[in-house]
Structure 1
Amino acid sequence: MNNEQNNIPSSIKDNRKRGSVGNFLKEEIGNGNNLSIVSAYFTIYAYNKLRDKLDNIENLNFLFGEPAFIKTVDPEGKNYKEFKIEDDKIIWIELTNKAKFALCKDETYLLNSAYFLIPPEKIGIKYLLSLLNSCVLEFYIKIIAVTSGMGTIGWINNYVKKFPIPQIPSQQQLPFEIIVDCILFAKENNMKTEASTFESVIDGMVFNLYFPDHMKERKIDVLQFAEKDIEEVMQAKSLKN
């Protein structure tokens, strides 16, 4: 009797005899869809398999269920849900008036009020971080996002994924990544003035990247100067070695 029931065609997917949930979603999700999912968990590996589909939906509502084995995983009965993410990623909080994207290399638990992002192929994580924390994209989100009741910007994933990210060769991403390294070093060593200076340089480089014609009209090329200075520093370092 059980075998017959398991072979009956059904819209219920159990990743066994009733079909694969992942395959079902790949076939059914369309561009601009509003998707609702009820599940006990959803991993970054599942997202990676469905990235092409999920990145093109309009909205996702995720309702966490309570699996029967939850007591063995969470014996203390926590009231919140959390994700453990081991890969390098960019994390950020939802409510803030200033871009606060951070590079995280540690195993991290994210609560409901935070998000994470793993860059797609050919996009360096530090290059992407430099864009996300720039004044340009901070201005952009103020145009497209809604605010909270207190006027704070909601940096939810639906807005962040709409950011236009220039697809440039890895060699051209290198100057951004080097400046980000300088910013991280300065902040780790409490060098606030130096960190602020490098952040201003990044803002100029990002502005140059998004509005090259505007910068050329004013005979300004921040990227050219940054690349030249970085090249000189790297050559000096090679000579010392």
Structure 2
Amino acid sequence: MPSRIPPRLLVPAIALVVIVVGASAWYAWVEEFGAFDGFYMAVITLTTVGYEEVHPLDRGGRLFTILYTGTGIGLLFYTVGAIVEEVVAGSIAEALGVRGRSRRAGRMRNHVVVCGLGRVGREVVRQLQEQDEQVLVIDSTEERLEVAREMGVAYLMGDATDQRQLERANLEHARALVAAVHTAADNTFIVLTARALNPDLTITTRATSDAAAVRLEAAGADHVISPYRIAGERMAEAVLGR
């Protein structure tokens, strides 16, 4: 999901572009270097590469170059420094955010663990949040964890079929688990593992076929929801005017 560029980066970057374009125009038309040579002169001057002048400069051109160099180099260093700082700070914040959420998961009690933050899992989280439930999400996709951060829920990054992830989710103290990953096989494995870790856990999952529903119930699921069956029932009710 794209994010906005921080103003502290955007403003100096725009100013830097304006200065380079302005210097290029000066060299191109005032000093009569031509468009390409004017731009070339502006770039090598700003980056202090040290190549010789494209064409000899008069006193006015040298004075302009001094002013341009002082202003442009300072702005260039500031912009590059701000970018580096933003990247480093973002990486540190990301790492601390993940660790912080992981520690939070270990302290949670009477919470609901949602495995998989796809379309179904996302809607489950929204509904639970409306009821002020504590929610912990497990997903291995960075984009989906970004959604979890935006929703303000605790999360663990990892494969929900990995028993270690379920243990990190403090499952023995959880109230319920929702298995909403993509495949029936993975949901079945999650149900089996979760039931072994917490026999009293309320487990809800989804099935795309009657056969899958039977397997999930045998694995220990308390509630098996069939989205297709529910959709069919609702559509039939709409047709019948109920």
**Same-fold call, TM cutoff 0.5:** no
**Structure 1 length as normaliser, TM-score?**
0.25
Larger Rg over CA atoms: 2
**Structure 2 length as normaliser, TM-score?**
0.25
